[in-house]
Amino acid sequence: MVRRVLASDESGNVISASRPVVVGNTKPINGAMTILNPRTGQCFIKVIHSSVWAGQKRLGQLAKWKTAEETVALVRSLPVEEQPNQLIVSRKGMLDPLEVTMLDFPNITIRGSEMQLPLQALLKIEKIGDMILKATEPKMSLWSCYDNWLSSVSPYTAFSRLVLILRALHINNERAKIILRPDKNTVTEPHHLWPTLTDEQWIKVENQLKDLILADYGKKNNVNVASLTASEIRDIILGMEIQAPSQQRQQIAEIEKQAHEQSQLTAVTTKTQNVHGDEIVVTTTSNYETQAFASKTDWRLRAIAAQNLPLRTKHLYVASDDISDTAYTYVLPKNLLQRFITIADPRTQVAGYLYGMSPQGNDQVKEIHSIVMVPQWATHLQVHLPDKMPSHEYLRDLEPLGWIHTMPNEMSHLSPQDVTIHARILARTADKPKQRWDGEKTVVMTCAFTPGSCSLTAYKLTPTGFEWGRENQNMSMANPEGFSSACFERVQMLLSDRFMGFFMVPEDNGVWNYNFMGPAHRADMSYGLQLDVPREFFDEMHRPNHFINFADLEADAGDEVDLEDEFE
Residue 248 in 3-state DSSP?
A: helix
Q: Which residues contact 72 (CB under 8 A, 6 or more apart)?
A: 101, 102, 104, 105
Using a 10 angstrom Cβ sphere, with 0-12 exposed, 13-18 middle and 19 or more buried, the burial of residue 358 is middle
Write down the pTM of the prediction: 0.50
For the residues 533-561, what does the mean pLDDT come to? 74
The predicted pLDDT at position 11 comes to 39
pLDDT tens for each residue of 50-66: 777 777 777 777 778 88
Q: Which amino acid is at 134?
A: K
**Checking phi first, is residue 509 left (phi over 0); if not, alpha (psi -120 to 50) or beta?**
left
Q: How confident is the model at residue 10 (pLDDT cuts 50, 70, 90)?
A: very low
For residue 344, give every residue at least 6 positions away whose Cβ sits within 8 Å of its Cβ, in sequence order, or none: 306, 309, 350, 406, 447, 537
What is the pLDDT confidence band of residue 354, given thresholds at 50, 70 and 90? very high
The better pLDDT of the pair 464, 452 is held by 464
Q: Does residue 433 or residue 464 have the better pLDDT?
A: 464
Give the model confidence (pLDDT) of 109-145 as tens digits: 888 777 777 777 887 888 888 888 888 888 888 888 8
Per-chain mean pLDDT for the chain:
82
**Averaged pLDDT for residues 336-357:** 94
Calculate mean pLDDT across residues 538-565: 68
For the chain, counts of helices (H) and of strands (E): 15, 21
Residue 435 has pLDDT above 80, yes or no: yes
Is the pLDDT assigned to residue 16 strictly greater than 60? no
Question: What is the per-residue pLDDT for 519?
Answer: 79
Q: Looking at 319-323, 420-424, 440-444, which range is the least confident one?
A: 319-323
| Predicted pLDDT at 278 | 82
Total residue count of the chain as it appears in this document: 568
Asked if residue 194 lies in contact with residue 162, where contact means CB atoms within 8 angstroms, the answer is: no
Per-residue DSSP letters for 84-127? -SEEEESSGGGHHHHHHHTTT-TTSEEEE-S----GGGGGGSHH
Distance from C-alpha of 538 to C-alpha of 226, rounded to nearest angstrom = 61
More confident residue, 233 or 54: 233
What is d(CA 208, CA 176) in angstroms, rounded to the nearest whole number?
A: 9
Distance, CA of 320 to CA of 349 (rounded, Å): 23
Residue-wise pLDDT for 158-206, tens only, equals: 888 888 888 888 888 888 888 888 888 888 888 888 888 888 888 888 8
* 452: number of Cβ within 10 Å: 10
Of 374, 431, 406, 377, the residue nearest 543 (C-alpha): 377
Beta strands 268-273 and 139-144, pairing class: unpaired
What is the pLDDT confidence band of residue 294, given thresholds at 50, 70 and 90? Answer: low
pLDDT > 70 in the chain, percent: 86
- The answer for residues whose C-beta is within 8 angstroms of residue 147's C-beta and 6 or more apart is 41, 189, 192, 193, 194, 196
pLDDT score, position 357: 93
Give the contacts of 2 (CB within 8 A, at least 6 positions apart). 39
Instruction: Output the pLDDT for position 198.
Output: 86
Give the contacts of 389 (CB within 8 A, at least 6 positions apart).
353, 400, 425, 429, 432, 435
Using 50, 70 and 90 to split pLDDT, how confident is the model at 295? low
Is 184 exposed, middle or buried, given 0-12, 13-18 or 19+ CB atoms closer than 10 A? exposed
Q: Which residue has the higher pLDDT, 274 or 417?
A: 417
Q: Is 213 helix (H, G, I), strand (E, B) or coil?
A: helix
Q: Is the pLDDT of residue 475 over 80?
A: yes
Backbone angles phi, psi at 333, to 5 degrees: -65, 145
193-221 exposure pattern, b = at least 16 Cβ within 10 A, e = fewer: bbbebeeeebeebbebbbebbbebbbeee
- Categorize the per-residue pLDDT at 476 as very low, low, confident or very high, splitting at 50, 70 and 90: confident
Longest dimension (CA), the chain: 115
Q: What is the pLDDT of residue 467?
A: 92
Q: Name the nearest CA neighbour of 85 among 146, 38, 141.
A: 38
> CA 240 to CA 36: how far, in whole Å?
19
Confidence label for 426 from pLDDT (cuts 50, 70 and 90) = very high
Residue 65 pLDDT: 83
Distance CA 108, CA 5 (A): 10
Say what the pLDDT of residue 442 is: 94
First to last CA, the chain: 102
Q: Given its phi and psi angles, is residue 373 left (phi above 0), alpha (psi -120 to 50 degrees) or beta?
A: beta
Q: How confident is the model at residue 513 (pLDDT cuts 50, 70, 90)?
A: very high
The secondary structure of 260-311 as a DSSP string is HHHHTPPPEEEEEE-TT--EEEEEE-SSTT-SPP--TT-HHHHHHHHTTHHH
Q: Are 119 and 166 in contact (CB under 8 A)?
A: yes
DSSP string, 439-485: TTT-EEEEEEEETTEEEEEEEEE-HHHHHHHHH----S-SS-TT--G
Check whether 356 has a pLDDT greater than 90.
yes
Dihedral of alpha carbons 547, 553, 557, 558, sign: positive
User: What local confidence, expressed as pLDDT, does residue 36 receive?
Assistant: 84
Which pLDDT band, with edges at 50, 70 and 90, does 293 fall under?
low
Q: What is the mean pLDDT of residues 488-495?
A: 92
Any bridge partners for residue 32, and if so which?
Answer: 47
